[in-house]
Amino acid sequence: MFSDDGIFKATFIKRIKAIGTYSEAELAEAMDTLDGENMKTLDVFVKQIHKNLNGVKTDTVSGKKAVTKKKTKPTAEEKFRSVVLKMESALSRYEETEEIDNWSINFKAGEYYGDKTFNQLKEIHKKLIDVGTCADKIKLLAFVERGSMYYYLKSSDERFGRWSDVCHELDICRRTVDRYINFFHIMSMYPRLLVCQLSFEAIMTMYKMLQEYLQAHESLAGRLQQPLKQVRVGGGTIFSSHRLPGGRGSNASEVPENLSPACDWDPLWAISDELYGTDSE
């Protein structure tokens, strides 16, 4: 059986542990209710307990903190500023050398990670990011080529029949065709947009703002108008079906019932994530 002192001590310890679960701002607000003498007395006892714990690190409350306001969604202007910074950064890296630009899509699917060190995982992570970036550029290049072909077909004075019939034969909507043609014209004017790590949707969503911006920033416009370097597209790896998603050797997982409500899936979701990431918590 516990003595009265033992019960008091056990309860006191639980209270101390419970206090430690609160945030600094909440603790600061609670301590503001104590007068000077009580604060000094409390400080003496806390210092003694800390000393007896052989200097275990603790968080220091410097004072009452304002309640952090919930981050609102980035505005279109904030996203655009981030797009410009991303473009300038990507262009600077691209302009560092005149060597052939290698678009490697060579990677291993169904990798086993259980025997890897963290440094090895970091290397694989970087490689996968690079592969994704290269694949995005190849995708954009294919979209440019589609726009070029559609523009030729649309401008061919019914050489291949009425335009509506041509689109029907190609099994594509005329509005979709016009999107690719617009993209073809944009990339023909600013070919180095292709290497700015922006998606097709991001470029098209922001193009009107970008066009106005470039009219006032001729230096950036000139950089984007420079022709692309030579490109070498690499890869060609063949993956066995059991290594691909859903195959016998793939890393199976449960189907997510709900996607994260905090995620923004608009065409500029990556820019939104970056802007959220820069906000201090």
Structure tokens at 215: 């009219």
Which pLDDT score, from 0 to 100, does residue 126 have?
94
Same domain assignment for residues 98 and 193: yes
Q: Give the range with max mean pLDDT: 45-49, 55-59, 95-99.
A: 95-99
Sequence letter at residue 145: E
Q: Is the pLDDT of residue 132 over 70?
A: yes
Q: Which of 219, 100, 194, 202 lies closest to 140 in space, CA to CA? A: 194
Q: Is residue 61's pLDDT more than 50? A: no
Choose the weakest-confidence range: 10-19, 144-153, 180-189: 10-19
CA 127 – CA 235 distance, rounded (Å): 13
- 35/85 same-domain check: no
Q: Is a pLDDT exceeding 60 seen at residue 27?
A: yes
At residue 63, the pLDDT reads 45
The reply to whether 263 falls in a domain is no
- Smallest CA-to-CA distance from 192 within 233, 220, 225 is with 225
The pLDDT, as a whole number, for residue 57 is 55
| Residue scoring higher pLDDT (35 or 209) | 209
Q: Tell me the residue type at 80.
A: F
**Per-residue exposure over 128-152, b if at least 16 CB sit within 10 Å of its own CB, e if not:** eebbeebebbbebbebbebbbebbe
Alpha-carbon span 261 to 265, nearest angstrom: 10
The values of phi and psi at residue 40, to 5°, are: -65, -45
For the ranges 16-30, 39-53, 54-68, 167-181, the one whose mean pLDDT is highest: 167-181
pLDDT at residue 116 is higher than 70 = yes
Q: Answer yes or no: are the C-beta atoms of 76 and 209 closer than 8 Å.
A: yes
- Residue 105: which pLDDT band, with cuts at 50, 70 and 90? confident
pLDDT, tens digit (0-9, with 9 covering 90-100), for 165-211? 999 999 988 889 999 999 999 999 999 999 999 999 989 988 999 99
182 domain residue, yes or no: yes
The Cα 40–Cα 224 span in angstroms is: 64
* Structural domains counted in the chain: 2
Query: 205-235: per-residue pLDDT in tens?
Result: 889 999 999 999 999 999 999 999 888 888 7
The identity of residue 110, as a single letter, is: G
Run of H or E including 231: strand 231-234
40, 150: one domain: no
C-alpha 243, offset from chain centre: 27
116 and 213 fall within a common domain: yes
Indicate whether 43 and 90 sit together in one domain.
no
pLDDT at position 1: 41
Q: Which pLDDT does position 148 carry in this prediction?
A: 92
The whole-angstrom distance between residue 100's C-alpha and the CA centroid of its chain comes to 27
Tokens 């726009």, residue?
147
**Is the same domain home to 133 and 19?**
no
80 and 47 within one domain: no
Using the predicted structure, report yes or no on whether residue 280 has a pLDDT greater than 90.
no
User: Is the domain of 23 the same as that of 113?
Assistant: no
The reply to whether 45 and 99 lie within a common domain is no
Domain membership of residue 92 (yes or no) is yes
Question: Looking at residue 77, what DSSP letter applies?
Answer: H
Q: The tokens 């030729």 sit on which residue?
A: 152
Model pLDDT, residue 2: 42
Q: Which residue shows structure tokens 């655009």? A: 80
Residue 128 — very low, low, confident or very high, per pLDDT cuts 50/70/90?
very high
pLDDT of residue 47: 75
Q: State whether residue 110 is helix, strand or coil.
A: coil
Q: How many other C-beta atoms are found inside a 10 Å radius of the C-beta of residue 264? A: 15
Neighbouring residues of 244: CB distance < 8 A, sequence distance ≥ 6 = 109, 110, 250
Could you tell me which residue, 101 or 64, shows the higher pLDDT?
Answer: 101
For residue 35, the Cα-to-chain-centroid distance in whole angstroms is 48
How far is it, in rounded angstroms, from Cα 64 to Cα 29?
6
- Judge whether 66 lies within some domain: no
Structural domain including 196 reads 76-237
Backbone angles phi, psi at 145, to 5 degrees: -65, -40
Burial class of residue 75 in the structure, from the number of CB atoms within 10 Å of its CB (0-12 exposed, 13-18 middle, 19+ buried): exposed
Q: If we measure between CA atoms, which residue out of 144, 104, 136, 142 comes closest to residue 231?
A: 104
pLDDT of 39 strictly over 50: yes
Q: How many angstroms from the chain centroid is the CA of residue 239?
A: 27
What is the overall mean pLDDT for the chain?
A: 79
Q: Stretch 26-42: mean pLDDT, rounded?
A: 74
35 & 92 share domain: no
